[in-house]
Structure 1
Amino acid sequence: MLQLPKSQPMRNLASRSKSYELCRQITAKYSKTFYLGTLLMPEAKRRAIWALYVWCRRTDELVDGPQAALTTPETLDHWEEHLQSIFAGHPIDDYDVALVDTLERFPMDIQPFRDMIAGQQMDLYRSRYETFDELNLYCYRVAGTVGLMSSAVLGVDNSTSKAPWDQQIDSYNPVGEAIALGIANQLTNILRDIGEDARRGRIYIPLEDMQRFNYTEDDLFKGVVDDRWQELMRFQIQRARDYYTK
């Protein structure tokens, strides 16, 4: 479990180097393979990616961590205020120091960060998605945004006049490809966690897809595995693979 420290007086905050080290430790602990990949990057970029990873993880744990039951809409409102303070150059806790420095070195738009928080808000209010379009928006918010954040560190211009989730992600656009990779990862996570989510009363497979294969919510909650289930899973797996290749 990644602890979410309470606000600290400015004089007690970690130095930049200590803050980056904290972010490195968190990344290495919770995402070993991803961490190994960052070691191939130049130092400034890998440290920035660690800072982004920690902010994203902290955001995700607000609704998907051990203390998620305590999270309210007001909690997420306060977290967005916390975010605004970071973008204003005012770190509130030790982890923020690295992210403030990252934003100075690699200027970014605040919107992808806000969009990620909006994705967590969706998890507070809904446990079903009728269509893939609805799920696609959720996947963009909680995972495609990571592609936008990371692209700024990696030197990709992610300015656009279109809504990010509405981009032509099959047109060899690096920004669209980064978003597609994030969505693909989220679709994969959804398939990995179907059972766990069902036990929490959540279904992320679009209901229109379940209806297409005549597989019901009751079937899912009972763990029915038959030809309908297998065809439904093949359909979902192919969709994720399509996003990986975009």
Structure 2
Amino acid sequence: MASSRPRPSRTSPSSGEEALRTRENAENFPVALRFLPRRHRDHLHAIYGYARMVDEIGDTFTGDRTARLHELAADLGTIWSGGQPSDAVLRRLAPTVHARRMSAEPFERLIEANLQDQVVSRYETFDDLRRYCALSAEPVGRMVLEIFGQATPETIARSDQVCTALQLLEHWQDVGEDRRAGRVYLPQEDLRRYGVAENDLDQQSAGPQLRELMRFEIERAAGLLAEGTAIVRQLQGWGKVSVAGFVAGGQATVSALTQTEGDVLARSARPSRRTTAIRAVGLLASRRSVR
């Protein structure tokens, strides 16, 4: 879930939590739906705080980002080795990890994604971009499944599709912003195929070739999201409710992006909470069988 983020700061826990809630409210999907039980909300807040912190270090930390990420990885490891993390966000994460018996790998992969960000700013093919999403997006879905005790090979496969789609959709919302930050997530092979130069991303509005390319990319991400949507019918209880919120946010974002007609430079593509809520209710009310 990469996007432009404020510089992480070493603030007091209370002010840090307030900033975290502000960031959550800006996401494409409800990170912790308000009507979930408190225990689930707290766990979701804990993993969100971790993911946001890692991304902020990778994107906006003013010191040596690579060194800071390696330092964080070592601190993270203390959660599983029986030590006490020095970072406040990790200390808040530790009870969630222990209570839900979560595995270390998804947390480590988010750090790996941000280490990759320090040396890679372009992706040649769509498969290359998807491999990046396997580090930067898929781990979050796996964390959510572990929180609700519903991580199976089947649900993980669907979750990976949903999370990659959400990551792609966020990239397509932020094409101009990412370009200004020195990153281009549109695959280089697709830019060439549609006759789009990178400096076309610097304009105030998208030209015909870029609009055509964006319509293609939006449709491809929408297809991936649609394939993963069956996860809602695979889950039960509060896990089903929570993941429906994520999927609904993706569906609402697809709709908002489609309405730009490919001009993602001139037109905002941020869905309303009402639209997301309506879609979530529809997903939860669906009685179709799992495919």
Q: Same fold per TM (> 0.5)?
A: yes
Report the aligned-residue RMSD.
2.5
Residue correspondence of structure 1 range 87-106 to structure 2 within 5 A: 87-89=80-82, 90-106=84-100
Structure 2 residue corresponding to 1:70, chosen from 60, 63, 72:
63
Percentage identity across paired residues of the two chains = 29
Partner of 2:55: 60
Alignment-mate amino acid for residue 196 of structure 2: Y
Given that residues 58 and 69 in structure 2 are in contact (C-alpha distance below 8 angstroms), is that contact kept between their aligned partners in structure 1?
A: no
Aligned pairs, how many?
219
Residue correspondence of structure 1 range 43-58 to structure 2 within 5 A: 43-58=38-53
Given that residues 135 and 204 in structure 1 are in contact (C-alpha distance below 8 angstroms), is that contact kept between their aligned partners in structure 2?
A: yes
Given that residues 48 and 98 in structure 1 are in contact (C-alpha distance below 8 angstroms), is that contact kept between their aligned partners in structure 2?
A: no
1:238 positional shift: 0.6
TM-score of the superposed pair, with normalisation by structure 2? 0.68
Does the alignment pair 1:107 with 2:88?
no
Structure 1 residue corresponding to 2:194, chosen from 207, 213, 229:
213
Given that residues 184 and 244 in structure 1 are in contact (C-alpha distance below 8 angstroms), is that contact kept between their aligned partners in structure 2?
A: yes
| CA offset digits 1:65-107 (Å, max 9, x no partner) | 3x3x423322211111011012334232333232111111101
For residue 125 of structure 1, give the secondary structure of its aligned residue in structure 2: coil
| CA offset digits 1:157-215 (Å, max 9, x no partner) | 24x6xxxxxxxxxxxx2112222221111111111111112122221100011111121
1:44 positional shift: 1.5
With a CA cutoff of 8 Å and minimum separation of 6, indicate the structure with the bigger relative contact order.
2
| Whole-angstrom CA distance in 2 between matches of 1:46 and 1:104 | 16
Given that residues 28 and 35 in structure 1 are in contact (C-alpha distance below 8 angstroms), is that contact kept between their aligned partners in structure 2?
A: no
1:54 positional shift: 0.4
1:5 positional shift: 3.5
Residue correspondence of structure 1 range 67-216 to structure 2 within 5 A: 67=61, 69-89=62-82, 90-158=84-152, 173-216=154-197
- Rate the CA distance shift 1:92–1:51 in 2: closer, same or farther, 3 A: same
1:220 positional shift: 2.8
Residue correspondence of structure 1 range 15-30 to structure 2 within 5 A: 25-30=18-23
1:156 positional shift: 1.2
Given that residues 122 and 183 in structure 2 are in contact (C-alpha distance below 8 angstroms), is that contact kept between their aligned partners in structure 1?
A: yes
For residue 214 of structure 1, give the secondary structure of its aligned residue in structure 2: coil
- Rate the CA distance shift 1:3–1:231 in 2: closer, same or farther, 3 A: closer
Given that residues 58 and 117 in structure 2 are in contact (C-alpha distance below 8 angstroms), is that contact kept between their aligned partners in structure 1?
A: yes
| Whole-angstrom CA distance in 2 between matches of 1:222 and 1:180 | 32
Given that residues 46 and 92 in structure 2 are in contact (C-alpha distance below 8 angstroms), is that contact kept between their aligned partners in structure 1?
A: yes
For residue 243 of structure 1, give the secondary structure of its aligned residue in structure 2: helix
1:110 positional shift: 0.7
Alignment-mate amino acid for residue 84 of structure 1: G
Given that residues 146 and 179 in structure 1 are in contact (C-alpha distance below 8 angstroms), is that contact kept between their aligned partners in structure 2?
A: no
The unaligned stretches of length 5 or more in structure 1 are 7-13, 161-172
